[in-house]
A and B are shown apart, each in its own frame.
Chain A
Amino acid sequence: MATALKINGKQHQVDLPDDVPLLWVLRDEVGLTGTKFGCGVAACGACTVHIDGEAVRSCQVALSDVWGDVTTIEGIGTPDAMAAIQQAWVDHQVAQCGYCQSGQIMQAAALLAENPAPSDTDIDDAMQGNLCRCGTYPRIRAAIHDAASKLKEA
């Protein structure tokens, strides 16, 4: 039985068992590979997407439980038209291997939507579920602060 999903503003009909996690629907069925598989147990944040604007671990949301519109890293900006948060990531040269950064950016975007001027403690609280084995944390923190001030000016 096909399940209807709205992803990045576009309707999709997905024919997969109900318990397949959204992560694997996105990656292997819809072809949106920007969302990454890291652990499968909500311990690393690499698979973070937004459902109705809320940051969620897509490896833990079964297809039949998707409760709203899905936004992935591809949905917030493109190389030619980056979102402010993505531009901040580029300006601060955050990425090293880059594998976790889609999840980091989606988590940070949700933080800024809720809290336009986060403190360091706010950033610690919001971002500590997102693992980065390259240790890019100092630049992630700087990029979030920078994006916050740019969004305030805008």
Chain B
Amino acid sequence: MASVGKILRRTFLIGSAAIVGGVAFGAYYVSRPAANPLKPAKGETALSPFVLIDQQGVTLFAPRAEMGQGVRTTWAALIAEELDVELDQIRVLHGPAAAAYYNSALVGEGLPNKGYDISDFQHNLGEALGVLGRTLSLQVTGGSTSMKDGFERMREAGATARETLKQAAADRLGVDRAQLKTENGAVVAPDGTRIPYTELAEAAGQIEPPEVELRDPSNWRLLGRSLPRVDVVGKSTGTAEFGIDVRPEGLKFASVRINPKLGGEMKGFDASAAEQMPGVEKVVDLGNGVAVIASNTWLAIQAVEAIDVDWGDAPYPPETDAVFAEIAKSFDASPNSTMRDDGDVDTLPDGATEITVEYTVPYLAHSTMEPMNATALFTGSALELWCGNQAPTLVQIRAANTANLDKEAVQIHTTYLGGGFGRRGELDFGEIATKVAMAMPGVPVQTTWSREEDMRHDYYRPGAMARMRGAVKDGQAVLIDGKVAAQSCTQQAVQRYTGLPAGGPDKVLVEGFFNQPYAVPNYRMSGHIADLDIPVGFWRSVGNSHNGFFHETFMDEVAHAAGRDPLEFRLELAKADHAPSAGCLQAVKEMSGWTGETPDGVGRGVAMTYSFGTPVAQVIEVVDEDGTIRIAKAWIACDVGLALDPGTVESQMFGGMIYGLSAAVMGEITFSDGEVEQYNFPDYDALRMHNAPVTEVKILETNHHMGGAGEPGTPPSMPALGNALFDLTGERARTLPLINQFNLLV
């Protein structure tokens, strides 16, 4: 199996193609190894570029969604490292939707191993499964996979381009390629003569790319350093283009209302008042909702809200209590999965003390800063769609089906995303904009959702419950037996994307639950799927977002039952199972000066979650200020194995933590009469400048495999805060959000 990785790397073909006045280097979409990528067989699509050089300059393509995680910069740096160009001298574009931009790491993540104990065999198998990403055209940004996915392939793309350009220079100068060097976008001859890549591009397009070797990391000049982000100037001057900012010639503006009883039908509507309102050009019947096209977004919002609609009922229990009763009922059925079953949890060891608790967490909205929107131009025979999205090939297929066009007739322009967090992996905003634009052929129409529409039509993080049973003896954890119950966002998403029912064990439901690196001899973790039709989806860290809270709150309760310090207790259990996880706990212990004691009015909590290949430990300190509790400080340690850009990893860690803390403190989506009760930020707020903690981040690099960065900062934040509140008040937080139980500063 050792050769699987090598074979796969060969099936990822870096080819080149001559373009007008230059050359492109990129990937071919092939279903099997092809001898000559320059001559793709019939039916294979053309080259999708990662590097494009012409007389105008060098352009790199980073076909991953830039939603704040810095992927565009780091992805470009992987290419630039080998190509010897400077990031401030080149352009970086997202590029079109293309199957060749598949995500090789995403599908491999689905293997039912714990992750931290992954063997080389399984690692190679994961790479092999990555081919599925290609055959399924999964050009997806998610699962904290971008760097794992791009790490080898993008450096190969850069090295291939570099060596081909050197060959073109060698041919011109009549010297051997090995005598040439490259720096800052030019080939340098032995006598010091510099030939810019732009001058060599046309000739390079006629040369078959040579075999290349990747540079040793000790020679890296970009990777491993904190680089200025390529998007930071645009995002500091209001010039970065988000989906909501595209302005094609002749643009009209629309807004939409879909049934707030999610998934319910529309029985009828009366738009006579709306049609008379200023700026209104057209009312559009979407089947399950209505849209108004106008001369201005605000006028469209006013008009669409003035439409009198008769909505059908929701296909789920209309009140929150009934929804959670349904979730609780799923504990009675046999589990969907039991991915960890070590020892014997049915027999309580002699002399052990047993503890049992139940936890509940609510549904959550993604609440991106940029409300859902997309812009479409439908001509009858073709469609152009502009939007920030996390899955351009899937958006393309959905838009094509909606407009009854071939996929090839649909062009997707992926802009910057004003927040993603998993929400923009969905396809609804693209589909709706397509339907609206089809009502006005030949005219580009931007469909923007009001904040209220966005908040109340999400694919929510599922509400979830856990029933935990544990036992301690002589200061040790001897048994953990946990059950989690929630809707399956995986099964629902597969059905949504493919129209086919999904089954089988859902690993995502139990991630962060069954695969935590603690050596407990009797350890069983099961997942139960609640059968409900509330739309649910992938919320930053997905299953880990509830399981991190369940597992790590319970570890705290077990530690206290064992009469142990909660940090030392975890450290001992992790040391026996996974050194990098123990290293993170040790690091936050030192950073925070953890002694297990805190002064009056101060509480501290710790938690650690292993997710997306990265263990993250956090210590949170809360302070009682005259009866109001402030989250004062936070210490984070993560082990990503290899930090390609430490500045970006740091920002993802504190950002991921604040996203989690916001949910822990005040995030809650509830239902009444089948409708979501939260409308806007005043009902669904987040941490702000005055109540976000002062934070210190430490990045470790001992992990054997490269881990993700965008999501792992989120899961441990919620239990760390709950555990800190227990330390401060003696009251255990077993349900979220915490604002319902504690007087936290908001």
Footprint of B on A, CB under 8 Å?
16-17, 20-21, 23-24, 27-29, 31-41, 43-44, 46, 72-74, 77-79, 82, 86, 89-90, 93-102, 105, 123-125, 127-141
Q: Are B689 and A141 in contact (CB under 8 A)?
A: yes
Give A76 Cβ to nearest chain B Cβ, in Å: 9
Q: Are B236 and A101 in contact (CB under 8 A)?
A: yes
Q: A36-B370, A105-B236 are in contact. Are A135 and B681 (CB under 8 A)?
A: no
Give B617 Cβ to nearest chain A Cβ, in Å: 18
In the bound complex, how far is the Cα of B253 from the Cα of A122, in angstroms?
39
In the bound complex, how far is the Cα of B235 from the Cα of A27, in angstroms?
16
Q: Are A137 and B244 in contact (CB under 8 A)?
A: no
In the bound complex, how far is the Cα of B373 from the Cα of A33, in angstroms?
14
Q: Does B354 contact A (CB under 8 A)?
A: no
Give B425 Cβ to nearest chain A Cβ, in Å: 15
Q: Are A138 and B237 in contact (CB under 8 A)?
A: no
Q: A90-B228, A93-B232 are in contact. Are A134 and B68 (CB under 8 A)?
A: yes
Q: A20-B298, A39-B681, A139-B651 are in contact. Are A74 and B371 (CB under 8 A)?
A: no
Give A44 Cβ to nearest chain B Cβ, in Å: 5
Of all chain B residues, which has the CB nearest A141?
Answer: B689
- Checking B238, B253, B658 against A102 with a beta-carbon cut-off of 8 angstroms, the contacting residue is B238
Q: Fill in one digit per residue for B406-424: 1 if any A CB lies within 8 Å of its CB, else 0.
A: 0000000000111111000
Interface-forming stretch among B31-39, B55-63, B690-698?
A: B690-698
In the bound complex, how far is the Cα of B20 from the Cα of A128, in angstroms?
52
Q: Does B42 contact A (CB under 8 A)?
A: no
Of all chain B residues, which has the CB nearest A82?
Answer: B237
Question: Which B residues between 678 and 692 are near A, CB-CB below 8 angstroms?
Answer: 680-682, 685-692
Q: Are A31 and B238 in contact (CB under 8 A)?
A: no
Q: Are A97 and B67 in contact (CB under 8 A)?
A: yes
Other than A41-B451, A132-B369, give 14 A-B pairs with Cβ distance below 8 A: A31-B247, A33-B238, A33-B247, A90-B233, A95-B232, A96-B655, A98-B235, A99-B242, A99-B368, A99-B370, A101-B235, A124-B690, A127-B689, A134-B369
A20 partner residues in chain B, CB cutoff 8 A: 296, 298-299
- Checking B239, B247, B694 against A34 with a beta-carbon cut-off of 8 angstroms, the contacting residue is B239
Give A93 Cβ to nearest chain B Cβ, in Å: 6
A105 partner residues in chain B, CB cutoff 8 A: 236
Give A108 Cβ to nearest chain B Cβ, in Å: 10
Q: Does B144 contact A (CB under 8 A)?
A: no
Q: A43-B680, A93-B651 are in contact. Are A134 and B419 (CB under 8 A)?
A: yes
25 contacts between A and B (CB under 8 A): A16-B279, A33-B238, A34-B237, A36-B242, A36-B369, A38-B369, A39-B680, A40-B451, A43-B681, A43-B682, A74-B239, A82-B236, A90-B228, A90-B233, A93-B232, A95-B68, A95-B229, A95-B236, A96-B70, A98-B231, A98-B234, A128-B688, A128-B691, A133-B367, A135-B654
Q: Are B237 and A77 in contact (CB under 8 A)?
A: yes
B658 partner residues in chain A, CB cutoff 8 A: 134-135, 137
A100 partner residues in chain B, CB cutoff 8 A: 369
- Checking A16, A34, A96, A123 against B238 with a beta-carbon cut-off of 8 angstroms, the contacting residue is A34
Give B147 Cβ to nearest chain A Cβ, in Å: 16
Question: Which B residues between 426 and 467 are near A, CB-CB below 8 angstroms?
Answer: 448, 450-451
In the bound complex, how far is the Cα of B653 from the Cα of A110, in angstroms?
30
Q: A interface, by DSSP: helix, strand, loop or mixed?
A: loop
Of all chain A residues, which has the CB nearest B683?
Answer: A43
Q: Which of B657, B681, B685 has the most CB of A within 10 A?
A: B681
Q: Are B680 and A131 in contact (CB under 8 A)?
A: no
B448 partner residues in chain A, CB cutoff 8 A: 37
Q: Does B224 contact A (CB under 8 A)?
A: no
Q: Are B238 and A72 in contact (CB under 8 A)?
A: yes
A38 partner residues in chain B, CB cutoff 8 A: 369-371, 451, 681
Q: Fill in one digit per residue for B266-294: 1 if any A CB lies within 8 Å of its CB, else 0.
A: 00000000000011000000000000000
Give A2 Cβ to nearest chain B Cβ, in Å: 14
Q: Are A131 and B228 in contact (CB under 8 A)?
A: no
Give B705 Cβ to nearest chain A Cβ, in Å: 25
A31 partner residues in chain B, CB cutoff 8 A: 247
Q: Are B657 and A135 in contact (CB under 8 A)?
A: yes
Q: Are B688 and A131 in contact (CB under 8 A)?
A: yes
Q: A31-B247, A95-B231, A99-B419 are in contact. Are A37 and B238 (CB under 8 A)?
A: no
B242 partner residues in chain A, CB cutoff 8 A: 36, 99
Q: Does B245 contact A (CB under 8 A)?
A: yes
In the bound complex, how far is the Cα of B236 from the Cα of A89, in angstroms?
6
Q: Does B96 contact A (CB under 8 A)?
A: no
Give A90 Cβ to nearest chain B Cβ, in Å: 5
In the bound complex, how far is the Cα of B451 from the Cα of A44, in angstroms?
11
A123 partner residues in chain B, CB cutoff 8 A: 689
In the bound complex, how far is the Cα of B421 from the Cα of A44, in angstroms?
18
Give B678 Cβ to nearest chain A Cβ, in Å: 12
Give B299 Cβ to nearest chain A Cβ, in Å: 7
Q: Does B360 contact A (CB under 8 A)?
A: no
Give A86 Cβ to nearest chain B Cβ, in Å: 5
B647 partner residues in chain A, CB cutoff 8 A: 93
Q: Are A82 and B651 in contact (CB under 8 A)?
A: no
A94 partner residues in chain B, CB cutoff 8 A: 232, 236
In the bound complex, how far is the Cα of B287 from the Cα of A96, in angstroms?
37
Q: Are A79 and B417 in contact (CB under 8 A)?
A: no
Question: Which B residues between 169 and 194 are near A, CB-CB below 8 angstroms?
Answer: none
Q: Does B69 contact A (CB under 8 A)?
A: yes
- Checking B226, B239, B418, B651 against A36 with a beta-carbon cut-off of 8 angstroms, the contacting residue is B418
In the bound complex, how far is the Cα of B451 from the Cα of A36, in angstroms?
12
In the bound complex, how far is the Cα of B247 from the Cα of A137, in angstroms?
30
Q: Does B550 contact A (CB under 8 A)?
A: no
Q: A79-B234, A98-B68 are in contact. Are A124 and B228 (CB under 8 A)?
A: no
B226 partner residues in chain A, CB cutoff 8 A: 93
Q: Does B659 contact A (CB under 8 A)?
A: yes
B322 partner residues in chain A, CB cutoff 8 A: none
Q: Are A97 and B245 in contact (CB under 8 A)?
A: no
Q: Are A98 and B695 in contact (CB under 8 A)?
A: no
Q: Does B167 contact A (CB under 8 A)?
A: no
The 9 A-B pairs with the shortest beta carbon distances in the complex, nearest first, are: A34-B238, A135-B658, A98-B235, A99-B418, A96-B68, A97-B68, A73-B238, A95-B235, A124-B690
In the bound complex, how far is the Cα of B371 from the Cα of A133, in angstroms?
12
Q: Does B240 contact A (CB under 8 A)?
A: yes
Q: Does B297 contact A (CB under 8 A)?
A: yes
Of all chain A residues, which has the CB nearest B452?
Answer: A40
A98 partner residues in chain B, CB cutoff 8 A: 68, 231-232, 234-236, 240, 416, 418
Q: Are A17 and B369 in contact (CB under 8 A)?
A: no
Q: Are A16 and B651 in contact (CB under 8 A)?
A: no
In the bound complex, how far is the Cα of B279 from the Cα of A77, in angstroms?
33
In the bound complex, how far is the Cα of B247 from the Cα of A34, in angstroms?
12
- Checking B68, B229, B238, B369 against A131 with a beta-carbon cut-off of 8 angstroms, the contacting residue is B369
